[in-house]
Chains A and B, each alone.
Chain A
Amino acid sequence: MAASCARDWADGLPADVLLAIFHRLDHIDILMVADRVCHTWCAAARDEPSLWRRITMRGDEGIARRINRCGMACEAVRRSAGQCEAFCGESPCLRSLRLISCSGVTDEGFIEVVKALPLIDELELSLCDNVGADGV
């Protein structure tokens, strides 16, 4: 498609529309790209915790080899400013998992997650009231 734009995609879009667009992107794309497009996009990507409430980090194969998923995941959760409710990433090689104040995590969900992570050798659960001794 030709790039014959007269519209102002940086400052002309209502903020909630820009966020609605970002909401449909993989969070790896937001981290890798949105910050560096322009000031307005950067602010939208950084200062809106609701954008990071449900984090999805898949990325394609090309990207996967170039990034540090752990670092990105930390940055994503940091941007959620405590509002992150769900995190989705593909990491069967995960070795360490720490869940702090995750009251939404239940025995059932916890067991399912741990089964998918065969290499896990370090686990911390703090203030996760809904995971009981049975789950562990």
Chain B
Amino acid sequence: MDMECDLLVIGGGMAGLVAGTLAAEAGLSTILLRKGQSATAYSSGAIDIIGYLPDASEPFSTPEEGLAAIAGLYPLHPYSIIGYVDGIKPEDVVDEIVGRTRDTITWLKEKLKDTIAPLSGDFKSNIFPITILGTTKPTCLVQKTMYSEDLQTREDSVLLFTGFSGNADFNPSVAAKTYLEDRIAIGEPPRKVGHCTLRVSPFGKPYNVSSVEIARHLDHERSIEDLATQLKPQVEQLGATHVAVPPVLGIKTAMDNKKKLEDQIGAEVFEMLGFPPSVPGLRLQLALEEMYRTNGGKMLVGHEATSYIKTEGRITKVSAKAPRREMNIEAKAFILSTGKYIGGGLSGDENGIRETVFGLMTVTDAYHSAGEIIPSRYTNRIAISPEGHPINSCGLTLDPHFRPINEDGVEWASNLYSAGAVLAGYDYSIEKSGLGVAAVSGFSAAKHAIDFIKEVA
């Protein structure tokens, strides 16, 4: 059965859910189509804003510093688009970008406050949480369960890395070694670390214990107490002030579990950043969906946008396909937030890179057409380097209203906006800017879409 709404959001990751929430909050009837989950659901639980400039080796100590550098050097970066405001003075551009980013972050923190993924950290500075590899990375916000107050500043801190038997997602002894070597090299605390392996067997077997199983198990009553009992002697033996656990402290009760553990063992507990399928990613996805629904947004899960009708420069309808049904959705404006290659917003083969829903123009990192490029030629020989791979900066390019533009440099449709990883001009893996760009561009696209809808109405 066909549907109607003010705003149709296509894509249900960070960008789409932020945009949808903002629209719903503004009183617009909003529908969000989601064909599957996206890169947001895999994320480590950290909200990066900007960690590095491409190919740079020093991290930014504050997001503000990073945004200013981006605005100066990368005028078509999604962050920089924010600065294109009619009549703005050149000296105000950075303030505009910083201001919008700060607003988004403040808003997001507030919105997630009472969900299962509340955030810690603030816009003032980048933080350097520990990853399961034993490395650290710059980010801006982490989920509260992942935050450590003073591990890396307190002179006498002693850190215990804790893993779980039969859970290959994290190896505490290797992380401990790697992390300690790094701390010794830079001469900062903690100066002593240890590691231990605990046993949690949700299904009675000490092998093939997945992270999500542990998290779900810890959501059950009493299980966190059992864990504390195992952990306490290890903490005492080492004299640990802090305990690093892989990100498994629970899905619904992670915050409570952190507190309970800390109370019982007398040391600060935090989750490290981990690899997908990650529990914090799951928490974040669920929390964002809850945020969207609570604000009145409607989700159509399991529906893929397959075609559209465009008349007089405007999209009027999008067809959505479920496994065995199809329908049309009419809307006044549309936001495309379908992600990159993982999310499926972009696809590529030896003939070029395509946007998958509307067939919009795609561009490379240098803003040349990506419609006919050979992907391998937009990669570096070195697999993992601060240069990243240009192919990961391909995507859509925008007008100042966050509308994708066509070959003529003007908006492709007057009522189509776009946000998130489908955008060109940034490589989130090397910049450490993924969820930040997603949230801020989602926020910005929604603001423009809301204005448009209100004007039309």
Q: Do A and B bind each other?
A: no
